[in-house]
Chains A and B, each alone.
Chain A
Amino acid sequence: MGLVDQSPAYLPASDASLLVRFSDEISVEANRRVIALFRYLHQASPPWLVNLHPAYASLLIDFDPHLATHDEVAAAARQQPDTHFAPIGKRIDVPVRYNGPDLGFVAETHRLTPAQVIDLHAGAEYLVAFLGFAPGFAYLLGLPPQLATPRLDRPRPQVPAGSVGIAGQQTGIYPSASPGGWRLIGETSLDLHADWAMPGDRIRFVPQ
């Protein structure tokens, strides 16, 4: 299919940043190209590089405008060796106690038993597409579609750190306590400091 052969769009996002967009849809293929370019620039570490923001299908590159221009940054990105797919990162097992307050709701919504929800959730392997929203918050690809569940109508004022939840077609872990509207199905004792996971890592949830 055409996606991996298409050259990305290089778009000035501000006077000090360039957005490299591989696709305007969420896909594992586009995300792996994002991660490949992210890793290349992260390791090359050019002096003008301020920050890299990987996302589902694009990479935002913040640069020092005193040291480079949009064209120079785009040229540096094009120098990435022709490896369209990023190799898989490290594998992380996340121990989960599936005892969340919304486990029953998720099960009932999909006419499953709680045990079946746990089997499905823990049976899949997830890709860390990127981190954002809060330090250490990982956006994961790979939730089995039959577990997709809408958010709460009214967010909880306080969700404890380590809560594992589902929101639409996403699943994730709250790295720190915050308000939140995700359906909580469990909790982990893993320490989710800011660099516990990197884009491209693989995650499995292991029932405790």
Chain B
Amino acid sequence: MIRVIKAGASTRLVDGIGARRRAHLGVSIGGAADRASLARANALVQNPPSATGLEMTLLGASLGFLQPAIFALSGAPFAATLNEVPVPYDRAIAAEAGAILRVASGPAGIRAYCAIRGGLRQGYARPLRSGDTLEWAGLPAVATSAPPPVIRDGELRVTLGHAFTQPLLQGEYEVTTASNRQAIFLSGAPIAAGGGHMITEGVPLGAIQLPPSGQPMILFVDQQTTGGYPVIACVIQRDLPKVGQLRPQQRVTFRYVTFEEAHHANRSER
């Protein structure tokens, strides 16, 4: 068992799959914002890639281990200590009963992941609070190779929205502080919409909508399942983990690819 001593800015129990086959009930997919970093942390402690772990956003948590455990940190390299001794990222580390892991913040990326060998049970749908206790899921160990770390550059590959024939995302955009797990709000040279009226339809994960303001937004893991703004582009699956690491004020550019190029990237760059 693990006790949450301090919850940090926003710490959640997340898995790498989310709520599949519930979009028709209005339920967003959810799960880890950067699934690749969660999978990496899980692989390092011999968990299945999608096992439930901790997602810490902007400022990490302080956790007390009530039993011995093996953990790994991955994703945004927030400064971390175990019993006041700095701990490295991307490595399996043993914690003794009574040990305290403190995760602070860092200069790049926005989400750090902590996987515990055996996985955690999904006990809280809400962000964690101090005093919460986390239980082991007791998953059997599996040997998988860890996926490479997520590159935190600001270039996102996108495909054209189905109603558009021209790439409208040109130049640089800045991630605004209003961004969260529902949407990444971007700021830059306004785009003339010209999309006209459209009726509400389903929107995929990573869809880039253009509201009347002309400032694009990327719909993300906690997005609404349907929407009425024109979708001018969509981030390819392979680059969704990068979206989960975008920080306010970071610069973002877009590179248009064909669906074939997207499929090639999805299947080969794993």
Contacts and interface: CB of A to CB of B under 8 A. Distances in A.
Interface string A31-64: 0000000100010000001111111111110100
Given A13-B234, A15-B237, A54 B24 contact: yes
A99 interface: no
B226 A133 contact: yes
B224 A60 contact: no
B27 A194 contact: yes
B200 interface: yes
B126 interface: no
B207 A53 contact: no
Contacts, number: 134
Interface residues of A, number: 44
B246 interface: no
B201 interface: yes
Interface string A9-46: 00111111101010011100000000000100010000
B159 A14 contact: yes
B236 interface: yes
Contacts of B26: 131-137, 194
Nearest to A61: B202
A133 B90 CA distance: 38
Contact of B226 (A14, A62, A132): A132
Contacts of B266: 15-16, 65-66
Interface of B: 20-27, 29, 159, 161-162, 198-207, 224-227, 231, 234-237, 259, 262-263, 266-267
Given A14-B206, A16-B205, A62-B204, 15 more contacts: A12-B259, A13-B231, A15-B159, A21-B201, A51-B225, A60-B203, A60-B204, A62-B23, A65-B237, A69-B263, A132-B226, A134-B26, A135-B25, A194-B27, A195-B25
7 contacts: A13-B162, A17-B202, A59-B202, A65-B237, A131-B225, A134-B26, A135-B27
